[in-house]
Structure 1
């Protein structure tokens, strides 16, 4: 008898230890390119520590590319022998073509895949899979789970302190004028993924302290309004800063559940070393 649901995410998502150990969760990696050299974003082929070292020493700016439809098809051919269907949660279609590769592969292999545009990155993907696994345990069928998750993508709150304006600019995520002004004034942009899944600036501050206070104010607002008590902090090789932010949040929400993790290499390429992202979801209504 086939198992009911395979769960898929791409490597822009945060792969938790639970996901690594879960027999039904699969990760399809993006690719990272340094000139003619290509690495798989699986945390093994190129670790984050190696990535940051390469960025500092390389004359060429690294690039990322989505997994091919063929790569997804290899996985789906295997999964259709073991599972009735799959739910695949992918990076925002406005930032990556990964979901297009995934859906093309599903058609190629005639495997039923419910592909969800998370409109997000990092734990924005992972949190949806966590939620889906809970709904599956409650007995919900795959199609209904997929419909519920697609609605709940809009419950994500995310705030990102960019660590390296130069990388964001070179990666095509910031205009030349924005980069020049930001560098000149030493502005720290706070950006977020919008309701349409686009990376947009929401505020600019002149110090790291003020940027952190901005995040804490948003935490307090949602905790008071919705009772939010679960948060995720993703960082670009600045664990000390991430842990400091965690302690600040605990002063506002004592007993909060806070996960701290690394940005994946495919995100670190664009956001840069020193980036801090704070994410949470508005609690589901049922």
Structure 2
């Protein structure tokens, strides 16, 4: 049986235990505080980051891995594996995927890289499914096809306190003229089919915003009756609110097993504190 290596980036936010047990290679992105750069998941953890964020005078920035980091990781893995399959955060949110693809072209070997078109829980789920399929003896081609299906069918809706972080980080377009007025409402951001972030709706209160994204999920679920869904409530720095929302989802959709996921520091830099989201895919 061919030996397949699995690679992702740190925004998948996999636990250290899972990474070690399943031999996942994670190439980290970094959060930059002025001239100080910290690698996500290694030199800065989510809880530490969200405790720091409110007291920062200037927003941190983020940076993707250098092409050499991917080249080094790929070359090392190919010494002990027949092939590599990697899934990375949306190419429309970061240059990480493009850098990984460039590195794959510089290394002699069987390497497939996939744009997840999202990040966080759906990317984590892609890696978990890849592990399950690899361990079940599936081929790299079968795994790649499944990961591409997930990438094409991901959904994500985010309720943010304001668009400040997304706007300053350049992660959302076409809202500059609306920014001032939107600060008084709860913007709902969605992940488009090609992996971009865009303003979907603006709602007057947090409760109504959460009601709205539940309605959107319900419509998706009813459009594909009988199909299972991998679903998570994703949050930045308010775990109690997230837990309450998770319980609500579980009560309203008893056939689901809603997960609870904290957003990684790199992505948290761009959405800011107070974010709640739902992410899922059907089938």
TM-score (norm 1): 0.90
Tell me, yes or no, if structure 1 residue 162 matches structure 2 residue 160.
yes
CA distance in structure 2 between the partners assigned to 1:229 and 1:124 by the alignment = 11
Which residue of the partner structure matches residue 5 of structure 1? Answer: 4
Which residue of the partner structure matches residue 25 of structure 2? Answer: 26
CA distance in structure 2 between the partners assigned to 1:223 and 1:18 by the alignment = 32
CA distance in structure 1 between the partners assigned to 2:163 and 2:198 by the alignment = 14
Which residue of the partner structure matches residue 140 of structure 1? Answer: 138
Query: Aligned pair count?
Result: 279
CA distance in structure 1 between the partners assigned to 2:13 and 2:44 by the alignment = 16
CA distance in structure 2 between the partners assigned to 1:133 and 1:50 by the alignment = 29
Point out 4+ residue stretches in structure 1 off by more than 4 angstroms: none
Alpha-carbon displacement from aligned partner over 1:226-260 (angstroms, at most 9, x marks no partner): 34454111110111111111111112112521211
The equivalences for 1:225-240 within 5 A come to 225-227=224-226, 228-240=228-240
Which residue of the partner structure matches residue 52 of structure 1? Answer: 50
CA distance in structure 2 between the partners assigned to 1:28 and 1:244 by the alignment = 33
Contact kept, 8 Å, 1:164 with 1:273, in 2: the verdict is: no
Greater Cα offset, 195-204 or 255-264: 255-264
Which residue of the partner structure matches residue 122 of structure 1? Answer: 120
CA distance 1:50–1:148, change in 2 (3 Å): closer
The equivalences for 1:76-91 within 5 A come to 76-91=74-89
Q: 1:172 aligns with which of 170, 173, 183?
A: 170
Greater Cα offset, 164-173 or 208-217: 164-173
Which residue of the partner structure matches residue 261 of structure 2? Answer: 261
| Partner SS state of residue 101, structure 1 | helix
Tell me, yes or no, if structure 1 residue 104 matches structure 2 residue 96.
no
Report the alpha carbon displacement of residue 164 of structure 1 after superposing the two structures with TM. 4.1
Aligned-residue Cα RMSD (Å) equals 2.0
CA distance in structure 1 between the partners assigned to 2:152 and 2:74 by the alignment = 28
CA distance in structure 1 between the partners assigned to 2:96 and 2:63 by the alignment = 9
Alpha-carbon displacement from aligned partner over 1:194-244 (angstroms, at most 9, x marks no partner): 111110111110101001111222333344343445411111011111111
Contact kept, 8 Å, 1:223 with 1:253, in 2: the verdict is: no
| Partner SS state of residue 82, structure 2 | strand
Greater Cα offset, 111-120 or 2-11: 2-11
CA distance 1:63–1:155, change in 2 (3 Å): same
Report the alpha carbon displacement of residue 18 of structure 1 after superposing the two structures with TM. 6.2
Which residue of the partner structure matches residue 71 of structure 2? Answer: 73
Contact kept, 8 Å, 2:121 with 2:261, in 1: the verdict is: no
CA distance in structure 2 between the partners assigned to 1:216 and 1:18 by the alignment = 32
Alpha-carbon displacement from aligned partner over 1:20-60 (angstroms, at most 9, x marks no partner): 24333121110111111111011x41122332343333332
| Partner SS state of residue 201, structure 2 | strand
TM-score (norm 2): 0.91
Contiguous gaps of at least 5 residues in structure 2: none
Tell me, yes or no, if structure 1 residue 272 matches structure 2 residue 272.
yes
